[in-house]
Chains A and B, each alone.
Chain A
Amino acid sequence: MLAYALRRLLLAIPLLIGITFISFVVIHLAPGDPVEVQTGDLSQQQSAKAYQALREMYELDKPLHVQYWKWLSRLVRLDFGKSFAPHGRPVLTMIAERLPITLLLNVVEMLIIVALAIPIGVLSATRQYSTFDKVTTIFVFVGFATPDFWLALLLMILFGVQLGWLPISGLRSLNWEYLTFWQQQVDFLSHLALPVLVATFGGLAGFSRYMRQSMLEVVRQDYIQSARAKGLAERVVIGKHALRNALLPIVTILGLSLPGLIGGSVIVEWIFAIPGMGQLMVQAAFERDYPVLMGNLVIVSSLTLFANLMADLAYSLVDPRIRVSRRRR
């Protein structure tokens, strides 16, 4: 077990290098480059000199493997480099600025989804094909099929323009500095209300369906029948035995979606003018801001590899069927 974990960790380093190298190459080979974007607004006063100066500054005139090597050698010193954008700020600072709000939104969204999806899934499974099941099925799928931006605009119009109860966009009101501490918290929460609502409504379908399906599978197993035959109360059967097993794949999914927490939902951020990771990365992609893109890639890949390792370890620990096989080997 420990040997397995150690082996995976050691393997992670060359793996990370491999992932970053492949990504580096593809990103640089994709059509378009940052210098073109910066000198390309076609406002008629650009010049070839500016083009050349920028190319040298970004070291884009050097061969690809040289560029990668330089990037990698800076990275091991934890120097993520500077953005290609005119402000030239350090990549880590840019990411650190945007990460908290994205994390907050994602964590809140995930908590709400889990808190709602589990009961919905369990109840739908135990009351399969009942009215409750049918109604919730339609409800979650409406949420899934509704495009985020449409729902967002609708809610903004209703709560922001017509009723005036909630702010329409941004993170803070303009007079935030002049509010008391508690007023500030309320203000912040009211700005987050709509984005979180839109995000959770769309994400509910996935989890609740998986929960329902997992529960359905478990409930049909023999050990559930035998628990019932033993005379245990239905609530105990479901709540204690079935639920624990049904939750296994959910836990796996949750664990594996942890690295995704640092990626912002582009559409929600865009519509609500929230300065998060989603917008940062989309803008970096359009502007071919390679240092920012690679910086994000490194962080996400490390988290992903780590989360995978943890999930695999946890799964084999928790699921007796797998543990048994390991012992046999």
Chain B
Amino acid sequence: MPAPVRRLAAVALAAALLAGCRGDTPLAGEAKAGTATPAYGDTMIEASIGNVSSLIPNITSDVSSREVGDLMYNGLVTLGRDLEIVPELAKSWQFSQDCLTLDLQLREGVRWHDGKPFTADDVVFTYDAMMHPKTPSSYKADFDSVERVEATGPHSVRVTYKRPYARALLSWAMTMLPKHLLESYVKDGKIRDAPQNWTAPVGTGPYRFQEMKSGEKVVVVANPDYYKGRPHVSRIVYRIIPSQATIFLELKAGGVDVASLTALQYKRQTEYPAFEKAYRKYRYPSPGYTYFGFNLKDPRFADRRVRQAFAHAINRQELLDGVVMGLGREATGPFRPGHWANNPAIKGISYDPKKATALLAEAGWTKRNADGLLVKDGKPFVFELLTNQGNDERKKVAEIIQASLREIGVGVEIRILEWAALLKEHIRKRPVAFDSIILGWSTAADPDQFVVWHSSQQGPNELNSIGYASPEADALLEAGRTSCHQAERVKFYHRLHQVLADDQPVIFLYWRDALPAIATRIHGIHPGPAGLRWNFTDWFVPQHLHRYTAG
């Protein structure tokens, strides 16, 4: 960091410390954040571990590209603080009674970054582009039930569905692409060659692209013509730093304003005054859960009692403490705690090794060999547990489970595989080539999980790798997916939650907490079930706290 900026930061820090002693400072605590006057200006620096692979989010699948995409593009709808669907480029919408037609009315006066107006034609184009056979987008499945999309006016769109699709509305959170810039490329099947992809992305979003240096940073500046009004923070720099340890050091040295902390950093390395004055830590449940899955075609695991036994043998609190230092919560099913689809009546599985042993005995595992392992038909109960390399949490989960199962006489061999190899040679192979796995699912705002649990989804490139086939679950998944009335769907998903909790096709382990740290000079942050970013265009830095004033 160059000297003048550092000095400014030092002065600001010193002022904060002094002011903190007096107790009445605009920096102390979130409560005061709302009372500071919103100001325009300053730069916010974020850190990302992954590299940005494209500036058209529709054709990428990595997190960094999507985050940067969210800065520059809009969808027709988006998520509000409580995970409810709120208008974005579409100001209103109506479903027909049979859920087969969706009419959307678009905002008027919205412009692309190059000044051209955003119209219904762009919406139709975005749909056509994504479904074009030569467009390499991974998100086509979301539009599979669409029959056609047509512009019914310059600012209105009608989507007709082949069958009712619950995710219909949410699928229109997809980022909108400019027809006038991309049409020729898409038609030729060369969307990747468009300048939009790497050098000159044009969206309708709150920030405009300024520059990108591959592997180094992406810089975006505030869009003064944004339909919600110019965002307060003038510039966002997205720094690419592949090492979490380095990000943490940059945070401590003030080189980064927003970063995710690991559980260890959150709990034990950020509890000192200087850090707390400069950064505020947040904690909210992330939408991802970790699970212990089985190959349900393997006769040992096909028996429900074995899976339930394993569930009883694992001490959840120990798991949480060991893996995320307690910063998470137990998972009882695939729905986020607090989400409307989550059935709050379902309790977690108790830690009861005796019950585990009893269940295993019922399943025929009664004898033990010289090593203390259970045997049946002369074979000891030993199996492989696969997970992917590069994920420290999953490795620790595997180690704890290994120790827990050893206590009840079951042997586990851990095998950590490189991700691409794991995917291709074990998970996606048919028949599957694993005994058990530790992986995670990231859940969306919509609870539809048809592709994960339905018995029809066991094909080679489909996601039901564990081979779960329950007629009741199938019926509930279908029902939940084809209804567009939430009151109905709640009942289906609550029942599904119960079915999954009873069956334990996978052992649901825990939901990790997201642990971001944000510089205290940034105000306007209101955490909620959707996290922090739902209103990031309202974040601001009060005038007297501006740090990066150049440009």
Contact = CB atoms under 8 A, between A and B. Distances in A.
> Is there direct touching of A and B in the complex, by C-beta distance under 8 Å?
yes
Contact of A46 (B141, B418, B550): B141
Given A36-B428, A87-B197, A98-B215, A161 B5 contact: no
Interface stretch (B89-97, B245-253, B508-516): B245-253
B382 interface: no
B140 A164 contact: no
Given A160-B253, A170-B239, A187-B2, A51 B45 contact: no
A98 B441 CA distance: 35
A286 interface: yes
B487 interface: no
Interface residues of B, number: 71
Interface stretch (B57-65, B112-120, B399-407): B57-65
A243 B439 CA distance: 59
A290 to B, nearest CB: 12
B240 interface: yes
A86 B60 contact: yes
A161 B252 contact: yes
Contacts of B451: 44-45
A9 B133 CA distance: 47
Contacts of A87: 53-55, 192, 197-198
B420 A288 contact: yes
B419 A286 contact: yes
Contact of B141 (A31, A45, A54): A45
Interface stretch (B19-27, B305-313, B371-379, B456-464): B456-464
A44 B138 CA distance: 10
Contact of B423 (A36, A43, A173, A187): A36
Contact of B418 (A171, A273, A286): A286
Interface stretch (A69-77, A174-182, A218-226): A174-182
Contact of B424 (A32, A57, A86, A171): A32
Contacts of B301: none
Contacts of B459: 48
Given A39-B138, A41-B62, A85-B54, A279 B424 contact: no
A53 B217 CA distance: 31
A47 B246 contact: no
A94 interface: yes
B214 interface: yes
A185 interface: no
B193 interface: yes
Interface string A139-167: 00000000001000100110011001001
A46 B139 CA distance: 6
Nearest to B141: A47
A244 to B, nearest CB: 43
Given A53-B134, A86-B54, A287-B420, A271 B2 contact: no
Contacts of A156: 246, 249
A230 interface: no
B537 interface: no
B545 to A, nearest CB: 17
Interface string A271-315: 111010001100100111000000000000000000000000000
B314 interface: no
Contacts of B61: 38-39, 41, 43, 46
Contacts of B253: 160-161, 164, 168
A97 interface: yes
Interface in A13-50: 30-33, 36-50
B134 A57 contact: yes
Interface in B399-454: 418-421, 423-425, 428, 439, 441-442, 444, 449, 451-452
A89 interface: yes
Indicate the size class of the contact surface on chain A: 35 or more
B249 A47 contact: no
Contacts of B239: 170, 273
Contacts of B65: 86
| Residue among A47, A48, A98, A286 with max Cβ neighbours from chain B (10 Å) | A47
A88 B192 CA distance: 6
Contact of A169 (B6, B141, B250, B421): B250
Given A168-B246, A179-B2, A286 B420 contact: yes
A53 B255 contact: no
B2 A45 contact: no
Contact of B136 (A37, A54, A172, A288): A54
Interface string B252-281: 110100000000000000000000000000
B53 A50 contact: no
Given A88-B197, A168-B249, A279 B215 contact: yes
A32 B461 contact: no
Given A53-B133, A273-B241, A288-B420, A164 B249 contact: no
B249 A94 contact: no
A188 interface: no
Interface in B149-206: 192-193, 197-198
Contact of B461 (A48, A167, A170, A270): A48
A43 B461 contact: no
B546 to A, nearest CB: 14
Contacts of B462: 48
B82 to A, nearest CB: 22
A168 B239 CA distance: 13
Contacts of A179: 2
Nearest to B219: A174
B327 interface: no
A192 to B, nearest CB: 14
A280 B198 CA distance: 17
Contacts of B317: none
Contacts of B234: none
Contacts of A161: 249, 252-253
A188 to B, nearest CB: 12
Interface of B: 1-2, 5-6, 43, 45, 51, 53-56, 59-62, 65, 133-142, 144, 192-193, 197-198, 213-217, 237, 239-243, 245-246, 249-250, 252-253, 255, 418-421, 423-425, 428, 439, 441-442, 444, 449, 451-452, 459, 461-463, 548, 550-551
13 contacts: A32-B424, A33-B420, A40-B423, A43-B61, A47-B140, A48-B459, A48-B461, A86-B60, A86-B136, A98-B214, A168-B250, A175-B2, A178-B550
Q: Return the 6 tightest CB-CB contacts between A and B, nearest first.
A: A32-B420, A275-B215, A88-B192, A47-B141, A86-B54, A31-B421
Interface of A: 30-33, 36-51, 53-54, 57, 82, 85-89, 94, 97-98, 149, 153, 156-157, 160-161, 164, 167-175, 178-179, 183, 187, 270-273, 275, 279-280, 283, 286-288
